[in-house]
């Protein structure tokens, strides 16, 4: 990897540092085929893409929406836009058609780049370019644009966990300043990476998310290392990818670690046992787990949402470090990060170089530095109040531990303040609840008393769960009432799987009404994505099972997807391709999604939907539970 001669000023300079490297950069496995690209090949494709943008008359400052799953073409298109000075607007591939159209209109996009299986959303003057058309050729040198450090490189729309999504302006300077801290760690500890080389990171965080971008597109090229992308997130498939590609670390949100923990404990019961012996003995005790995940697998890199302490401790017990950090889209994105060779468990690590952090009297974390965004795209002044007095007010509550590491306590707006002025952090109570058998998911909201909303296993007693949790909580943390959520899972953001506590609190304040119907376009789009993934899976299984090439039964994945959407045809096609044993579980998923598309997000008739159990508060006399049935939604016009 070539080293910079002069200090970097823009991302174009950073691009030039890796553009000539023959090292492997990207691996992409869609469950059907595998593609591999070097840094040099990605750079060549990016230059060809930049030339195509120039030919189309799309230039500096104009906007292009990038709506796709994480894949090599995503990265090549991004760098092509950077070379041409085009502003990228990345969107999660789970975004609904309607949301994509709104963003296109808002930013006045000239182009819409779409991933595999996504619809052509026609809106305004934007022209649709399928990413599958990207040419993997070397475009040669392209004329250098007058790109400046303060120019906007991308507009990243936040997840919307606490309100209307906002477009965060991210400049070239923001990204390069944020990269400086991780690069210092890489340079200092480069020799310690040698036993792990070649480094391969399986990225399970979308590239539309700044944390996923920073690691896959900026930190790894500085090492250098390889990024592995895959389709789907089943734990068995994740384990297979880790073994097959000799993955060193997984980049993921905490929810993925939670799913993998359940998978590992179910498959290897010894993983659920406590072992406090020396780490070498523990490694032997859990050797079946290590063998299953691959002996080169070293650690998890986690971000995007709070990490439960018990989840972190579980993986450490198995001998697999969890490296967590803290950041926001507005800070491009890293604020604090654990040094992989000096991890402080239970914290987000030390503040990165070039960034200042201050804890306000009310506990709020405020940040300043060159990585902080200049603001929001097209936002009214009141929406930019978080940027004031030279500091970005994060809205998160935290503290610095004696060693100078940042410890995150929760969201400022979500902190529950009891009548006597004591503060309750929802995450603390949720951790206590989720450790109780029978609890699948838990959310805790206020505003002035602790209320819990649970997703429980069939037959679980919500009152007994609360009594058990309260026996381990401080007096001010004790849960006053509990409601069973009327559905199989709590509402979460798409990319980072954060619980939408604001939406849950509004639902409770309305008396536990059925949740509002989900956006019809979103539900139908997710159904299309699932059918596409199933089609690719079935075709791939057919190839592997029959040892043929170039199609099964004359079908390609697109045709397979179309037939899976037709009643009565999907089952026969799937069974014919791969046999009943493989096909039936997949078809069950399709059936569930078909039901979801019909119901458009209404409650699923769970027997305990909407039950609200009021438990004894400190000093109160116990009283019977009050059951509140979900109120029917009133017809329009009444």
Q: Please write the tens of the pLDDT for every residue from 559-607.
A: 444 444 444 444 444 444 444 444 444 444 444 444 444 443 333 333 3
Could you give the CA distance from residue 261 to residue 559 in angstroms, rounded to a whole number? 36
pLDDT band at 535 (very low <50, low <70, confident <90, very high): low
- Mapped onto helix, strand or coil, the DSSP state of residue 132 is helix
Report the percent of the chain where pLDDT is more than 70.
78
Domains and CATH numbers, the chain: 11-147 (3.40.50.980), 174-373 (3.40.50.12780), 415-508 (3.30.300.30), 520-599 (no CATH)
- Mapped onto helix, strand or coil, the DSSP state of residue 563 is helix
Mean pLDDT of the chain: 81
DSSP string covering 434-477: HTSTTEEEEEEE-SSS-EEEEEE-TT--HHHHHHHHHTTS-GGG
pLDDT for 447: 87
pLDDT for 121: 79
Per-residue pLDDT averaged across 3-7, rounded? 50
Could you give the CA distance from residue 453 to residue 415 in angstroms, rounded to a whole number? 16
- Mapped onto helix, strand or coil, the DSSP state of residue 103 is helix
pLDDT band at 417 (very low <50, low <70, confident <90, very high): confident
What six digits make up the tokens of 267?
């498959």
Could you give the CA distance from residue 483 to residue 14 in angstroms, rounded to a whole number? 52
Predicted model pTM: 0.75
- Are the CB atoms for 560 and 538 separated by under 8 Å? yes
What's the Rg (C-alpha) of the chain? 25
Say if residue 529's pLDDT is above 70: no
pLDDT for 542: 45
pLDDT for 502: 86
pLDDT band at 527 (very low <50, low <70, confident <90, very high): low
Non-local (6+) Cβ contacts of 598 within 8 A are none
pLDDT for 195: 77
Helix (H) / strand (E) element for 283: namely helix 279-285
> What backbone torsions phi and psi does residue 155 show, to the nearest 5 degrees?
-120, 110
Q: Please write the tens of the pLDDT for every residue from 420-471.
A: 778 898 988 998 999 999 999 999 998 889 999 999 999 999 999 999 999 9
> What backbone torsions phi and psi does residue 200 show, to the nearest 5 degrees?
-130, 120
Task: Spell out where 231-271 has E strands.
Answer: 249-252
Q: Which of 91-100, 279-288, 322-331, 491-500 has the highest mean pLDDT?
A: 322-331
Range name among 62-76, 213-227, 281-295, 513-527 with the lowest pLDDT average: 513-527
Could you give the CA distance from residue 525 to residue 67 in angstroms, rounded to a whole number? 13
Q: Please write the tens of the pLDDT for every residue from 202-251.
A: 999 999 999 999 999 999 998 899 999 998 889 999 999 999 999 999 99
Q: How many CA atoms lie within 13 A of 576 on its CB side?
A: 12
């Amino acid at each position: 990897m070539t080293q910079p001669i002069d200090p970097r000023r823009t991302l174009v300079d950073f691009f030039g540092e890796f553009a000539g490297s023959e090292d492997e950069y990207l691996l992409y496995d869609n469950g059907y085929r595998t593609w591999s690209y070097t840094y040099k090949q990605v750079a060549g494709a990016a230059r060809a893409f930049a030339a195509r943008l120039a030919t189309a008359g799309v230039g500096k400052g104009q906007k292009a929406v990038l709506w796709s799953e994480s894949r090599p073409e995503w990265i090549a298109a991004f760098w092509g836009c950077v070379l041409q000075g085009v502003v990228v607007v990345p969107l999660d591939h789970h975004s609904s058609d309607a949301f994509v159209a709104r963003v296109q209109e808002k930013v006045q996009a000239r182009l819409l780049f779409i991933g595999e299986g996504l619809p052509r959303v026609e809106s305004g003057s934007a022209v649709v370019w399928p990413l599958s058309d990207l040419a993997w050729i070397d475009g040669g040198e392209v004329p250098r644009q007058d790109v400046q450090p303060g120019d906007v490189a991308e507009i990243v729309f936040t997840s919307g966990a606490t309100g209307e999504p906002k477009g965060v302006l991210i400049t070239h300077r923001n990204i390069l300043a944020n990269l400086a801290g991780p690069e210092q760690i890489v340079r200092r500890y480069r020799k310690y990476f040698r036993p792990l080389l070649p480094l391969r990171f399986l990225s399970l965080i979308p590239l539309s998310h700044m944390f996923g971008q920073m690691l896959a597109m900026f930190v790894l090229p500085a090492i250098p290392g390889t990024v592995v992308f895959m389709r789907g997130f089943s734990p068995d498939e994740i384990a297979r990818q880790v073994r097959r590609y000799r993955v060193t670390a997984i980049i993921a949100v905490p929810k993925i670690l939670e799913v993998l923990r359940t998978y590992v404990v179910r498959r290897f019961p010894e993983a659920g046992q406590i072992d406090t012996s020396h780490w070498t003995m523990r490694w032997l005790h859990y050797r079946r787990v290590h063998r299953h995940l691959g002996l080169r697998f070293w650690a998890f890199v986690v971000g995007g949402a709070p990490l439960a302490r018990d989840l972190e401790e579980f993986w450490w017990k198995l001998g697999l470090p969890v490296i967590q950090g803290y950041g926001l889209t507005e800070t491009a994105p890293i604020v604090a990060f654990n040094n992989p060779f000096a991890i402080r468990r239970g914290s987000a690590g030390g503040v990165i170089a070039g960034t200042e952090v201050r804890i306000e009297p009310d506990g709020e974390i405020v940040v300043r530095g060159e990585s902080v965004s200049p603001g929001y795209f097209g936002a009214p002044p009141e929406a930019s109040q978080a940027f004031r007095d030279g500091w970005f007010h994060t809205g998160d509550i935290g503290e610095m531990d004696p060693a100078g590491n940042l410890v995150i306590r929760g969201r400022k707006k979500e902190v529950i303040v009891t009548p006597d002025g004591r503060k309750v952090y929802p995450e603390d109570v949720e951790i206590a609840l989720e450790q109780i058998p029978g609890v699948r998911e838990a959310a805790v909201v206020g505003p002035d008393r602790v209320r819990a909303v649970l997703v429980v296993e069939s037959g679980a007693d919500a009152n007994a769960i609360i009594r058990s949790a309260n026996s381990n909580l401080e007096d001010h943390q004790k849960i006053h009432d509990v409601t069973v959520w009327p559905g199989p899972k709590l509402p979460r953001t798409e990319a980072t799987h954060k619980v939408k506590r604001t939406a849950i609190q509004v639902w409770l304040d309305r008396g536990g009404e059925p949740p509002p119907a989900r956006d019809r376009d979103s539900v139908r789009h997710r159904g299309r994505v699932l059918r596409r993934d199933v089609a690719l899976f079935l075709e791939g299984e057919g190839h592997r099972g029959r040892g043929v090439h170039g199609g099964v039964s004359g079908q390609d994945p697109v045709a397979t997807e179309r037939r899976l959407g037709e009643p009565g045809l999907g089952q026969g096609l799937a069974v014919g391709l791969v046999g009943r044993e493989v096909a039936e579980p997949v078809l069950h998923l399709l059936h569930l999604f078909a039901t979801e598309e019909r119901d458009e997000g209404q409650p699923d008739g769970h027997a305990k939907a909407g039950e609200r159990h009021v438990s004894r508060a400190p000093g109160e006399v116990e009283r019977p539970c009050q059951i509140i049935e979900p109120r029917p939604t009133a017809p329009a016009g009444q």
